[in-house]
Every structure is written in C-alpha cells, then in structure tokens.
Amino acid sequence: METQESKEKSFQALHDAWERQPLLKLAFEVYNELHKVVLASLKDDDKNNPSLQNARERFVEGILQQTVNALFYLLKDCISDLDTRAKEKPADLFEFYEPANEVHFSLWKRKFIELLVDTKLFSLTNEHTYYHHYALIHEYQMKLGIKKDEAEFYSSSSKWWDHNLREIETRIIEAEETIDIAKCWYLRNPKPWKDLAPKEKNSIRMLNSLKGKYTKAHRLLSAKEHLITGLTYYVGYGQTSQDIHTGPYGIESENDKKPTNFDASINVLSMFAMYIFDNTISLLKLDDEQWVRKFRSYVGSKEKQDIERFSNFTINPEIEVGDFVLVKWQLAQVRNIIQSDFGYRSFEITFLSKPIIPEILDDIVPAPYLALFLKRSDVANGVSEEIAGSPIYGNFTDEALNNAIAQSAVLIHAKLGANLKDFLAGKYPPQPN
C-alpha cells in the first residue's frame, strides 16, 4: 500500500518534471481536451462493431492513444533522468546512459513521423467512408499475414481464415462503392478490389509504404513539420530506423558520435506530439474552439522563423548563378542551379580554391551544405571600380572580366584564412539540428 510519504515524493517528482519540461505538460493538456471530444462522439459506439459514421473518431482515438503512450514514457524518462542524475552512480554508467537515451528517442521519433504523416494525408480524404475503407484494408492485410505466417511455420492453412478474409472482402467491395479509389493515398496500388488479380489479393503489401506516404505528404507539411521530421525521408525516418535496427557498427561510428541533449530531445518529441494533435484538431473540425485558438497561437508563434529556416536549409534563396560560396570552407563559384520535384535546390559548383578531394574540381551540392560567401555582383562592382581608370578598360573581354572577378574572390578568401568563421558569424554550415 502506498504511504503518504511515497505519494508526496511522487507528486514532487511529477512537479519537478513539469517544471523542467513545460512543453511536455502542454502536450498532455492538449491530449486531454482532444480525448474528451472523441469520447463524447464514441460514447454509444461498440468498439467491436464500430459504426461507419464514427470511423474518423475511431481513427483519431487510435492516434491519440499511440501519442499519449509515448508522452507517458517521456514523462517517466524525465522523472527517471532527474533521479539518476541526483544520485551518485559509477562513472561508467553514463557511458551507456546517453547512447541508450538516443535509441529510445529514435524509437519515439520514428513512431511520431508515421503518425504525423498519416494525420496530414487524411486531410485529403477526411470523410468517414475513407477511414472505414482504410481500416478494412488494414484488417485484411493483418489477417492475411497471420494466415501466411501459420501456413509457413505449421504447414497449415485453416479454412477459418479463408472464411474470415472473404467476409472482409465483401465489406471492402461495399465500401468502395462510396469512395473514389484514385484518392486512396494509403494504397500502394489504388485499384478497385473487384479488379485485383488473385495474386494481388494475396499480397501483404497492399498498404502504401512509409516512403510512399512521406513523398505524398511532403508538399502538405508545414515548414515547422518539415524541420522537425528532418527535411528528407532518410534524415527523418531512415536514420531513426538505423538507430533502432542492428548494424555492423552499432548506432553510428565513433567519429560521428554526439552526446544526446536529454532536455532538447524531450522538447522536440513534445513538439512533435503537438503537431500531431494540431492535425487531428483539423480532422475533427475543431478549429474555432477557444482552447484550440490559444493552443495554435503558441504552436504558430515562431512560424516566420520556421519558414525562414526551412527556406535556408532547402533552397538557400540568397544564392544565384555566379555567386561565390563556401563548401567545407573551400571557395567555389555557382555555375548552375537545379530544383528537385520537392522544390529543394542543389548547386553546380566549380572549386576556385583547393578542392576537398583533389580530383573533384566540379560538383553538385545540396542547399544545406554550402554557404554564401560573396555575391558576384558585389565583387564585380569592386573590380569595375578598380579597372575603370585603366587605359585598357575598354579592351576587357567578358572572359577577362569574369576571371578578374573570380581572382578577386580568391584573394579575399585567402586573406581571411582562419577568420572565415568570424566572417560568417558562426552560421556556417546552415544545417538543421
């Protein structure tokens, strides 16, 4: 039985955690508001036989449950971390403590990316019929997977599974009479069930992969959502998967190992949860609620900075053809700009100082990995002023002028030398955290 003293200690631990992590506390408060709305909608619904008109609320209930499970464990982590750091531990304990936290945070980030992408994409099909159809396909694929698993390990194929799958098939065909199958982003191959070949119906890969969903959701994500997921599929989901799954060298190589900032990681995951909640608010059409407006004023408080950061990381908008840039502190000039289908930019460059790899004199560099050094127009103005009084000024060819401009940039780069970092005020390279 819990004593009064142990209760007081628990309350104090919770209070200390809230004080340390106000974003986590806010995420729990938003969850409670959303959960009340969903419970009110589902109070007369049978969970084992859900009604079609509540399919959206059932989906949101699942999203909320999965998110709050993660928040609960983050809260436990926070309390545990305070306790661990308050006590004297063997020095070698902390050698394992930080890497363990890193894997743990990667697990939740991976989960949150999936939830964020799904809630964003359902804004395209925010009708009960699509949620119902999605649930049926998910159920069919899951039960087909169990049937195949049993057949492989027990050499059996129960008629019960066939009967069950046929029943779900019937319901899927009925559901597809009320939807536009071409809009079903959650399907790997959007095609009416009745048109599927037997081999296609026997596949456990009917639902779209996360990579497929991520690319579809990409243009729907806001700047803040892009920044928190990681800008690309690998940086967001692939890297977290790599942290979780086994590999030949553990999580990452010794040279790349960075200490985990515990408080910053909790903050990031708390914000992740709030972005998921923000999407569910839109799905439930609660935008005009007073508590929602208050919540969104906080979540959107840094929108201008987020848009600017996102633009710098993906486009580097200040850089134009002809400008002088730094790539790993080496000077290069931009020859061409390439834009991807996702709107991100890469820059074709020619090195003017010592190349990073001697045999690579030209390269194509994505936007986050270079920084503007000098605008060509600024250098050109300076060069023009210097040679304007020369008797041979009128004889300068375009090529000679371009060479003079490039040589001037090289001289400035060489003169700055070790002071390059001060020149850029510590903002290079402009990569996301």
- Residue range 316-364, pLDDT digits in tens: 999 999 999 999 889 999 999 999 999 999 999 999 988 888 899 999 9
Question: What does the DSSP assignment read for 70-116?
Answer: HHHHHHHHHHHHHHHHHS---TTHHHHHHHHHHHHHHHHHHHHHHHH
CA 293 to chain centre: 24
Tokens of 64: 């909320």
Could you give the residue ranges of the DSSP H alpha helices within 176-325? 198-201, 210-217, 223-229, 233, 239-244, 262-283, 290-299, 303-314
For residue 253, what pLDDT is reported?
40
Left if phi > 0, otherwise alpha if psi is -120 to 50, otherwise beta: which for 256? alpha
Residues 50 and 5: their CA atoms lie apart, in Å, by: 45
Q: Which residues contact 247 (CB under 8 A, 6 or more apart)?
A: none
Answer whether 0.75 is exceeded by the pTM: yes
State pLDDT tens for residues 237-249: 877 777 777 766 5
Output the pLDDT for position 397.
72
> Do 185 and 121 contact (CB within 8 A), yes or no?
yes
Instruction: Indicate the SS3 state at residue 190.
Output: coil
Residues 87-145: tens digit of each pLDDT? 555 555 555 556 666 777 888 888 999 999 999 999 999 999 999 999 999 999 999 99
Asked if 324 contacts 331 with a C-beta cutoff of 8 angstroms, the reply is yes
Is the pLDDT reported for residue 5 higher than 60? no
Alpha helices in 158-197 (DSSP H): 159-175
- The Cα–Cα gap between 325 and 372 comes to 5
Tens digits of residue pLDDT in 299-329: 777 778 888 888 888 989 999 999 999 998 8
Give the pLDDT of residue 104.
75
Q: Is the pLDDT of residue 428 over 60?
A: no
Determine the 3-state secondary structure of 19 from DSSP. helix
Q: Report d(CA 274, CA 288) in Å as an integer.
A: 17
pLDDT tens-digit readout, 22-41: 888 888 889 999 999 999 98
Q: What angle do CA 415, 421, 422 make, to 5 degrees?
A: 85
Q: What share of the chain is helix, strand, coil (3-state, %, to 5)?
A: 65, 5, 30
CA distance 391 to 337: 37
Q: Where are the alpha helices (DSSP H) in 21-54?
A: 22-42
- Hey, what amino acid is at 363? D
pLDDT at 221: 92
Helix (H, G, I), strand (E, B) or coil at 182: helix
Grouping H, G, I as helix, E, B as strand and the rest as coil, residue 203 is coil
Q: What's the token pair of residue 261?
A: 């900032």
% of the chain beyond a pLDDT of 70: 80
Residue 248 CB contacts under 8 Å (≥ 6 apart), including other chains = none
